[in-house]
Structure 1
Amino acid sequence: MTTRYTEDHEYVRVEGKTGIIGISNYAQEQLGDIVFVELPTVGTSFKKGDEAAVVESVKAASEIYAPVSGTVTEVNQALGDEPGLINSDPSNGGWIFKIELSDEAELEGLMDEAAYADHTA
């Protein structure tokens, strides 16, 4: 399982041909308490960099961009009732959507954990 990060603080955790997308712990700390998540629609296709979702906190609304191209296969319905999962568990319970990767080579352009740690230091 590989996790890669964007400069905009999205992560993609790759399991086979599926990318699990969310925002990093750093991003949720910057946003503060998450109060609403606008999820994408299953079946929607995105190109890398497309706006895919919106996370609203008590401080601001923040667009979530697709870190890779692909088609949405699942959304985290639990966020509808409990958007704070992104604050309490951004990498596991707080994932936002899953995407079937259409171009795995795009992962090479993203940061690994060490590079992302340097980016947020």
Structure 2
Amino acid sequence: MTTRYTEDHEYIRVEGTTGTVGITNYAQDQLGDIVFVELPTPGKKLKKGDEAAVVESVKAASEIYAPVSGTITEVNLALQAEPGLINTAPDAGGWIYKIALDDTSELDSLLDDAAYAKHTA
């Protein structure tokens, strides 16, 4: 399993050719209490950088962008009833969607753990 990050604070945790996407702990901390999540539609095709979802907090609404190109295979329906899962477990129960990757080489342009830590320092 590999985890990569965007400079906009999305993470993608990749197993095989499927990625689980959410926002990082740093991002949820900056946003504050998450009150609503607009989930993408399963089956939707995204290009890297496309808007995939929207997270609304008490402070602001933030677009969530696709870190890679692919097709949405699953969304986290638990977030409809409990959007705060993003605050309490952003990298576990608070994931937003899963995507079937079109091209795993796109992961090479994303940040690894060390580069992301430096980016947020």
TM-score of the two chains, using structure 1 as the length reference: 1.00
SS in 2 for 1:22: strand
* TM superposition shift of 1:68: 0.3
- Say how many residue pairs are matched: 121
* TM superposition shift of 1:81: 0.1
Output the CA distance in 2 between the equivalents of 1:46 and 1:21.
13
Output the CA distance in 2 between the equivalents of 1:95 and 1:113.
18
Output the CA distance in 2 between the equivalents of 1:14 and 1:52.
17
**Ranges in structure 1 where 5+ consecutive residues have no aligned partner:** none
SS in 2 for 1:21: strand
Tell me which residue corresponds to 1:46. Answer: 46
**Ranges in structure 2 where 5+ consecutive residues have no aligned partner:** none
Tell me which residue corresponds to 1:107. Answer: 107
Where in structure 1 do 4 or more consecutive aligned residues deviate above 4 Å?
A: none
Tell me which residue corresponds to 1:18. Answer: 18
Output the CA distance in 2 between the equivalents of 1:2 and 1:54.
24
SS in 2 for 1:41: coil
Tell me which residue corresponds to 1:117. Answer: 117
Output the CA distance in 2 between the equivalents of 1:8 and 1:93.
20
Identity of counterpart residues, as a percentage? 77
**What do you get for the CA RMSD once the two structures are aligned?**
0.3
